Amino acid sequence: MKTTDRAALDEWYAVATAAELGQAPVVTRLLGQDIELCRDEAGAPVVREILDDGGRSRALPAQERYGCVWTTLGRPNKDIFDIAESHEADRRFVPCGWVRMRASGLRVVENFLDMAHFPFVHTDILGSEPHTEVPRYLSEIRRDVDEVWATNCTFFQPRIAATESSGDFVHLTYRVPSPFVVMLYRVCPSAPDRLDAIALFIQPIEEDLCRAQPVMYLVDATSTDTALLNFEQVIFLQDRIIVENQRPLLLPLEPRLEIPTRADGSSVAYRRWLKEKGLRFGTTGAH
Ligand SMILES: [Fe+2]
């Protein structure tokens, strides 16, 4: 059933990989609502909300951005967020494909923000024992842009990226530009004056079901597409196991239900921001 959650409805969502969409219609689901996607004869994406079994439907806004087709079931008060790195001509653009997960999309965002799990979940890739401590970092709700950011993050990583085979402390910045999108900026190992940008687009299907696609804008002239994809997919499949085993599947926003530690600063800011927005879809709050 389509949600009545205004805060969730009034956002943009990536709902298809642009390169995979042709003129043949495909049906998918967003926020509990069936939608149909295709391209018109000029190649422009078309998205429709299916209103009933009789085939009545309503046209929805459709935009192509960052290798995906985006739509909304509501009336967003701003355009799709900008990824500055997407405009740089020498970037490698790597869409990594959709992964379906039995969990709230909000849980997926929160897991992406969490550095403390690196040594235990991504052992010998993004973290390793005994380097388990998350050094102090800053997290904030940026009121001017209405986004959550975590800055000055550092963590010891044994591999860092597909190009690297030795470990070092990496510098990371996290950004949450909308409730179901999360980004990571990482100092690029092969060009230390630039940042690799990795975004995770989440399509909330039901409250406790979503699919997510990582897309990367990298400065990396050497790795093959396959190596880049494999690196990301190994990490993401490790995350899926963790996210699907969290209970409850929905994200609690009540501050006392899960006791935060210092490492959870970004999660605390994220939950507070969701609560301020009045977002309910995918949370344990009253519906
Ligand atoms: Fe992870």
Residue 122 has pLDDT above 70, yes or no: yes
* Sign of CA pseudo-dihedral 1, 60, 19, 174: negative
Q: What whole-number distance in Å separates Cα of residue 271 and Cα of residue 279?
A: 10
Query: Crossing angle for the helix pair 105-113 and 265-277, nearest 10 degrees?
Result: 150
- The band of 286, judged by pLDDT with boundaries at 50, 70 and 90, is low
Q: How far is the CA of 50 from the centre of ligand 1 (A)?
A: 35
Q: How far is the CA of 112 from the centre of ligand 1 (A)?
A: 6
- The band of 17, judged by pLDDT with boundaries at 50, 70 and 90, is very high
**Two tokens, residue 93:** 């653009």
Q: How far is the CA of 121 from the centre of ligand 1 (A)?
A: 7
Ion ligand 1 contact residues with beta carbon within 5 A:
239
Which pLDDT score, from 0 to 100, does residue 169 have? 87
Predicted confidence (pLDDT) per residue in 48-60, tens digit: 999 988 879 999 9
Q: How far is the CA of 163 from the centre of ligand 1 (A)?
A: 19
H or E stretch covering 238: helix 225-244
C-beta separation of 53 from 45 below 8 A: no
**What mean pLDDT is reported for the chain?**
93
Highest mean pLDDT among 27-31, 121-125, 162-166: 27-31
Residue 198 has pLDDT above 90, yes or no: yes
Q: Give the list of residues 6+ apart from residue 216 with CB closer than 8 angstroms, or none.
A: 92, 93, 94, 96, 196, 197, 198, 199, 228, 232
Predicted confidence (pLDDT) per residue in 182-191, tens digit: 999 999 878 8
Q: What whole-number distance in Å separates Cα of residue 116 and Cα of residue 208?
A: 24
pLDDT greater at residue 107 or residue 257: 107
Which pLDDT score, from 0 to 100, does residue 89 have? 94
Q: How far is the CA of 110 from the centre of ligand 1 (A)?
A: 10
For residue 41, the SS3 value is coil
| Nearest to 34, CA basis, from 10, 5, 56 | 56
This prediction's pTM: 0.94
Q: How far is the CA of 173 from the centre of ligand 1 (A)?
A: 15
Q: How far is the CA of 140 from the centre of ligand 1 (A)?
A: 21
Q: How far is the CA of 282 from the centre of ligand 1 (A)?
A: 20
